[in-house]
Amino acid sequence: MYEPSVSPVNPMFVCLCLSGMNAAVRATVRVGLYTGAKVYFVHEGYQGLVDGGENIKLATWESVSMMLQLGGTVIGSARCMDFRAREGRMKAALNLVKLGITNLCVIGGDGSLTGANQFRTEWSTLLVDLVKAGKISDDEAKTSSHLNIVGMVGSIDNDFCGTDMTIGTDSALHRIIEVVDAITTTAQSHQRTFILEVMGRHCGYLALVTALACGADWVFIPEMPPDEGWEGHLSDVLSMGRDGKPIGSEDIKKLVEKNLGFDTRTTVLGHVQRGGTPSAFDRILGSRMGVEAVMALLEATPETPACVVSLSGNQAVRLPLIECVQVAANTSLFLLVLSRSFENNWNTYKMLAHINPPDSKSNINVAIVNVGAPCAGMNAAVRSAVRIGIIQGHNMLAVYDGFEGLAHGNIKPITWTGVSGWTGKGGSELGTKRYYIISLLLLSLYCQLIKQSAAGTKRRVFIIETMGGYCGYLATMAGLAAGADAAYIYEDKFGIRDLEMNVEHLVQKMKTDVKRGLILRNENCNANYTTDFIFALYSEEGKGVFDCRKNILGHMQQGGTPTPFDRNFGTKMGSKAVLWLTDKLKEVYRHGRIFANTPDSACVLGMRKRALTFQPLAELIEQTDFEHRIPKTSWWLKLRPIMKILAKYNIMQYNDITIITSSQKRGCMV
């Protein structure tokens, strides 16, 4: 193999998007340009890499503007038979060498990433063949002696080993849930049974999570094939069988109609699941993955193995590409790995889907009360808690109207059927007197509509005030998802000089092809720098360059139906809470009395990385800012530099790692 060149060469970077998340493309391009690299688009996937010419084009900062809200991939994707042959890969190598490209970022599924790994493995021999054929010189071969590759997993199936979530999965769940909600109203109105077929290939993630989110009566997934005699069980209650016989939607339809006489309809979603506007989660995930991918390429050496950027416990990590691909290709090993994450979802679904009368009653009354503002996902948590409690033999009681209802004795028994259909309902069915998870989705969508409005009217800046109390999570994450120019929050102190710098940044931005701006402000970020003050300042300092509009979103952020994440998160939280209560009651029940006097008898259930964790309230005292009702440390604050970098601010720190500039890195990047 030729030795890598040590002479300074203009860095180059190429983004090849196969499955297509535009947020990842945007982040990859902008961070690449930010480091001084030359960035290339490869249009139409591997086919564009093989054909070369106009399919490989320089990317600019402006070329990835206003693309966060677009589904699919703006640079196109195509299946390529030519790339599967060595001759095709040789053409691709020739095109890259001629442009001086030695770094490749690939966004796709296991097939695309497998092809990328094979391309990298053959790279040195491809160069030898190109030199022998006289298509490249020895100097060109030496300059491009090594190919660095980093992958990002784009797949709606969430079927890749090593990552908690793939780009595109959450958006697909949104499309499915939208259809389920629409179908549910028809099913209830006409008393029909609906059979819904979703995509997912050999992975049942989409089907299982959808079943949890909508309270489906039955779900067929390849990881958990039905037992012998499932036909009779299905009839009593209302993909692939263990004997290897396929189970199709029409088979189930005929069974239901024959055994039960129900009016039955089948809906096959197909590629509807792949389209539509990306969710806030996918936009943020794609942005984070894109930044990490560039970092991986900048830090790569000839000895560095090809890696894939993954999400593990809410952290962006790099895993060896070849190992992940090999596990995904090994079906039995892949199912073993998946079973660890599938087990909780599957067990929760089995408990909630079908009535299983307890062997004995516990004679323990468990009351459920909603406090704080009614939040999306709260009804899903109540439904889960009630049904799990009934299964455990408890007497379940519902407290209506929060603590006020508790004081006035507004308490009623609640049954299994009493919570039917609650997962998809917003707000709180039990009522409450005062926290919203769905706010992020609404904020992202609203900000995107604002940006589209600004795109129609040039030289305009929108200033939006968000809720959240003193917590800047919503403003920060919505800013990252919508591509905001700035997000003012209480946790990140700012002053008049920061405001002046932001105004100057927008003035310079209006001189480019991107003549619009978006500013977010948390409602309590600063007592003096109010929304009106910032609006007046921007209007005055931007006079003659841009005009301003302000919007205070208010309580519209608290409305709407729960997202798939909120429904499933609430369901699992409710289930886990009641099971924990049951175990604790067994521990402290002695001589007919309950002794709940230990610190761990009062806990808060929350998510830490990838696990639902119970933490005693006493331990949270040191971690909480009670005056402002926020944690003393927040993980998401580390994401704020990403937002600033993608908005073209001069920030040299990302996640405590100094970003390498082109002057520090020698060699050629694609």
Give the residue ranges of DSSP H helices in 191-279: 205-214, 230-237, 249-260
632 located within any domain: no
pLDDT band at 655 (very low <50, low <70, confident <90, very high): very low
Per-residue pLDDT at 632: 92
Per-residue pLDDT averaged across 59-81, rounded? 87
Domain boundary among the residues 593, 608, 623 is at 608
Q: What is the percent of the chain where pLDDT is above 90?
A: 35
Per the structure block, which two tokens stand in for 635?
A: 């993980």
Do residue 314 and residue 449 come from a single domain? no
489 located within any domain: yes
Do residue 148 and residue 289 come from a single domain? yes
CB of 102 within 8 A of CB of 667?
Answer: yes
Do residue 108 and residue 217 come from a single domain? no
Per the structure block, which two tokens stand in for 399?
A: 């407290």
393 pLDDT higher than 60? yes
Per-residue pLDDT averaged across 248-258, rounded? 72
Per-residue pLDDT at 14: 45
Q: Output the CA angle 198-208-307, nearest 5 degrees.
A: 85
Q: What is the pLDDT of residues 415-460, one digit of tens each?
A: 888 888 888 887 777 776 543 334 555 555 556 566 665 555 678 9
Residue 155 one-letter amino acid? S
CA 362 to mean position of chain CA atoms:
40
DSSP class per residue in 161-211: TT-S--BTHHHHHHHHHHHHHHHHHHHHHHT-EEEEE---TT--HHHHHHH
Q: What is the pLDDT of residues 82-138, one digit of tens each?
A: 999 999 999 999 999 999 999 999 998 888 888 898 999 999 999 999 999 999 999
Q: What is the pLDDT of residues 167-215, one digit of tens each?
A: 999 999 999 999 888 888 777 776 677 888 888 877 888 999 999 988 8
Per-residue pLDDT at 597: 78
Burial string for 602-640 (b: 16+ CB within 10 Å, else e) reads ebeeeeeeeebeeeeeeeeeeeeeeeeebeeeeeeeebb
**Terminal Cα distance for the chain, rounded:** 19
Per-residue pLDDT averaged across 30-51, rounded? 91
Torsion of CA 241, 245, 249, 254, to 10 degrees: -100
Do residue 472 and residue 585 come from a single domain? no
Domain boundary among the residues 254, 271, 288 is at 271
Per-residue pLDDT at 9: 33
CA distance 131 to 139: 10
99 located within any domain: yes
Do residue 397 and residue 488 come from a single domain? no
Per the structure block, which two tokens stand in for 67?
A: 């693309």
Q: What is the CATH number of the domain that holds 265?
A: 3.40.50.460
CA nearest to 42, candidates 31, 29, 52, 30: 52
Do residue 148 and residue 252 come from a single domain? no
Per-residue pLDDT at 503: 94
Using DSSP, state whether 378 is helix, strand or coil.
Answer: helix
Domain count, the chain: 4
Per the structure block, which two tokens stand in for 485?
A: 């120019």
Do residue 241 and residue 157 come from a single domain? no
CA nearest to 25, candidates 13, 16, 34: 16
CB of 670 within 8 A of CB of 37?
Answer: no
pLDDT band at 407 (very low <50, low <70, confident <90, very high): confident
Do residue 366 and residue 465 come from a single domain? no
CB of 415 within 8 A of CB of 425?
Answer: no
CA 526 to mean position of chain CA atoms:
30
Do residue 267 and residue 197 come from a single domain? yes
Per-residue pLDDT at 109: 85
Q: Give the chain's largest Cα–Cα span.
A: 91
Do residue 16 and residue 134 come from a single domain? yes
Per-residue pLDDT at 651: 60
662 located within any domain: no
- Catalytically active residues are 157
582 located within any domain: yes
Residue 620 one-letter amino acid? L
pLDDT band at 148 (very low <50, low <70, confident <90, very high): very high
Give me the domain span that covers residue 132. Answer: 12-166+278-333
Per-residue pLDDT at 24: 92
CB of 171 within 8 A of CB of 563?
Answer: no
Backbone angles phi, psi at 530, to 5 degrees: -75, 175
Q: What is the CATH number of the domain that holds 17?
A: 3.40.50.450
Do residue 39 and residue 140 come from a single domain? yes
40 located within any domain: yes
Q: What is the pLDDT of residues 208-217, one digit of tens each?
A: 999 998 888 8
473 located within any domain: yes
CA distance 24 to 417: 44
Burial string for 642-658 (b: 16+ CB within 10 Å, else e) reads bbbbbbbeebeebeeee
Do residue 260 and residue 409 come from a single domain? no
Per-residue pLDDT at 203: 84
